[in-house]
């Protein structure tokens, strides 16, 4: 039997997972391809993380692994070498979500989590298929406002 991912219950199946980054990371990288790029990227992440944490979305580092189980959305810190889930940062119960959507913005694909408070948090990737799989796994568990 396969060992459960960090922070999941033994009987909690992982439906889908993917590596993503905070919304704006790709644009920051493209605009500031210079020595100060990492400093500017971390500044952009800090602003995003402050908002995300206020809304109730867990954060740790700019890169994250997002997974969907039959109970919740999970966010992990990825391992350095394999980008596999290494440490559970936090979760978002489905009951807190009002919706989830995917849209393309240039090269980036954004996954938008809309909370029942009316606030939203966006993450991004360049992998539209995985983003749609995350969206499709969450939708049956979410009741709109």
CA–CA gap between residue 73 and residue 16 (Å, rounded): 10
Question: Domain coordinates of the chain in residue numbers?
Answer: 15-141
Predicted local confidence at residue 40, as pLDDT: 77
CA–CA gap between residue 121 and residue 48 (Å, rounded): 9
Over residues 60-97, the pLDDT tens digits come to 899 999 999 999 999 999 998 888 899 999 999 999 99
Predicted local confidence at residue 33, as pLDDT: 52
- Where residue 116 falls (left for φ over 0; alpha for ψ -120 to 50; beta otherwise) is alpha
CA–CA gap between residue 54 and residue 2 (Å, rounded): 35
- Count of alpha carbons within 13 angstroms of residue 137, beta-carbon side: 22
Predicted local confidence at residue 1, as pLDDT: 41
**Which pTM value belongs to this model?**
0.88
User: Tokens 């969450």 belong to which residue?
Assistant: 138
User: Tokens 């990227």 belong to which residue?
Assistant: 41
15-141: CATH number: 2.30.29.30
Predicted local confidence at residue 81, as pLDDT: 84
Over residues 102-142, the pLDDT tens digits come to 999 888 899 999 999 999 999 999 889 999 999 999 999 99
């Amino acid at each position: 039997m396969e060992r459960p991912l960090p922070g999941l219950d033994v009987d909690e199946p992982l439906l889908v997972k993917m590596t993503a980054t905070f919304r704006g990371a790709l644009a920051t990288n493209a605009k500031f391809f210079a020595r100060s790029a990492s400093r500017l990227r971390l500044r952009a992440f800090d602003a995003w993380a402050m908002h995300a944490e206020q809304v109730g979305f867990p954060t740790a580092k700019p890169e994250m692994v997002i997974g969907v189980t039959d109970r919740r959305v999970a966010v992990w810190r990825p391992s350095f070498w394999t980008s596999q889930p290494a440490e559970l940062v936090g979760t978002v119960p489905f009951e807190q979500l009002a919706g989830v959507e995917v849209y393309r913005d240039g090269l980036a694909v954004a996954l938008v989590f809309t909370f029942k408070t009316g606030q939203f948090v966006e993450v991004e990737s360049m992998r539209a298929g995985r983003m749609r799989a995350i969206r499709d796994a969450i939708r049956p568990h979410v009741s709109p406002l």
